[in-house]
């Protein structure tokens, strides 16, 4: 469905090196890597938000609908949640259903700033789903949430993925354990410039433990 042939990206100094990968329908990828290595830069390139990465570096994107959950909610603060969803094409009924799907039934008339961080992130997720995405990009969706909120959002996202088996997902996270719940594939980005050091399928018994063990080894080597 999508083929990455990214030649690289630098901001005065090299950040991303060559990134080659194929993303298929139903792929649920957790993207891990050290802080500041280029994970958001890679998501932006895949989403087509980085004009310095040529369009032909991401083959197939023009045929896909992409939903992108940024680190900040990026909802329009002067519009209600319903209006934010309507702006991306949801009907009145769809907006209500989407809010209910993310646990925000009855909050349609609220403004984004009247919500907690966790609620605003759920509202932003509803906006991603409103575009009926073929590819869902999640940039650290659980960051800054308390463990209960984070756990609830993880269960919610896992349920959405289960109900939409054809949708692909790439989720940036710092917590390898998220992959156990969400992923069937792991990417590990590292190096200067950064490349995909691993692109492993999750699913065989014990494989995820092995990958997480390797991660822990890398963490302690770096500390
Ligand atoms: N617009 C920009 N201008 C200059 N440098 C940038 C820009 N965007 C990113 N960078 C640099 O590129 C590098 C990678 O940033 P990026 O945000 O992609 O990392 P990350 O892996 O997502 O980090 P984190 O895990 O901390 O969120 C960093 O050194 C950052 O300073």
Q: For the residues 75-102, what does the mean pLDDT come to?
A: 97
pLDDT at 220 over 60: no
pLDDT(127) > 70: yes
> Average pLDDT, stretch 189-218?
75
Res 150: pLDDT: 94
pLDDT of residue 178: 87
- Reported confidence tier of residue 218, pLDDT bands at 50, 70, 90: low
Could you tell me the pTM of the whole model? 0.92
Residue 223 confidence (pLDDT): 39
Average pLDDT over residues 196-213: 70
Residues 6+ apart with CB under 8 A from 137: 43, 46, 47, 66, 67, 68, 69, 169, 170
Which of 37, 140, 142, 175 has most ligand 1 atoms within 8 Å of CB, for mutation?
A: 37
Q: What is the mean pLDDT of residues 74-100?
A: 97
Task: Please indicate whether residue 176 or residue 9 has the higher confidence score (pLDDT).
Answer: 9
Q: What percent of the chain has pLDDT over 90?
A: 83
What does the mean pLDDT of the chain come to? 91
pLDDT at 27 over 60: yes
Give the chain as a 3 state SS string. CEEEEECCEECCCEEECCEEEEECCCCEEEEECCCCCCHHHHHHHHHCCCCCCCHHHEECHHHCCEEEECCCCCCCCCCCHHHHHHHCCCCHHHHHHHHHHCCCCCCCCCCHHHCCHHHHHHHHHHHHHHCCCCEEEEECCCCCCCHHHHHHHHHHHHHHHHHCCCCEEEEECCCHHHHHHHCCEEEEEECCCEEEEEEEECCCCCHHHHHHHHHHHHHHHHC
Q: Tell me how far the alpha carbon of residue 187 is from its chain's centroid.
A: 13
Question: For ligand 1, atom 10, which residue shows the shortest CA distance?
Answer: 11
Instruction: Report, as an integer, the average pLDDT of 110-123.
Output: 96
pLDDT tens sequence across 45-79: 999 999 999 989 999 999 999 999 999 999 999 99
- Does residue 163 line the site of ligand 1, with CB under 6 A? no
Tokens 């004009």 locate to 51
The pick from 6, 10, 15 for probing ligand 1's pocket by mutation, whose C-beta has the most ligand atoms within 8 angstroms, reads 15
Task: Count CB neighbours of 217 within 10 A.
Answer: 10
Q: What angle is formed at CA 139 by the lines to CA 136 and CA 144, rounded to 5 degrees? A: 135
Q: How confident is the model at residue 177 (pLDDT cuts 50, 70, 90)?
A: confident
Question: Cα dist. 17→23, 42, 124 in Å?
Answer: 18, 10, 31
How far does residue 109's CA lie from ligand 1's centre (Å)?
A: 35
């Amino acid at each position: 469905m999508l083929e990455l042939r990214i030649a690289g990206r630098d901001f005065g100094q090299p950040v991303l090196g060559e990134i080659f990968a194929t993303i298929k329908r139903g792929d649920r990828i957790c993207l891990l890597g050290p802080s500041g290595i280029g994970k958001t830069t890679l998501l932006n390139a895949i989403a087509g938000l980085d004009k310095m990465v040529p369009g032909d570096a991401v083959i197939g994107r023009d045929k896909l609908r992409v939903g992108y959950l940024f680190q900040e909610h990026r909802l329009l603060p002067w519009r209600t949640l319903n209006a934010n969803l309507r702006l991306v094409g949801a009907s009145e009924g769809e907006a209500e259903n989407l809010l209910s799907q993310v646990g925000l039934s009855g909050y349609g008339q609220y403004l984004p700033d009247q919500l907690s961080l966790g609620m605003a992130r759920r509202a932003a997720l509803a906006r991603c789903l409103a575009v009926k995405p073929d590819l869902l990009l999640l940039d650290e969706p659980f960051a800054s949430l308390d463990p209960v909120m984070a756990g609830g959002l993880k269960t919610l996202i896992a349920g959405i993925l289960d109900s939409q088996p054809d949708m692909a997902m790439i989720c940036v996270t710092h917590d390898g354990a998220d992959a156990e719940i969400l992923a069937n594939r792991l990417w590990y980005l590292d190096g200067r410039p950064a490349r995909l050091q691993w692109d492993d399928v999750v699913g065989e018994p014990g494989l995820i433990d092995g990958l997480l063990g390797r991660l822990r080894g890398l963490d302690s080597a770096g500390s």
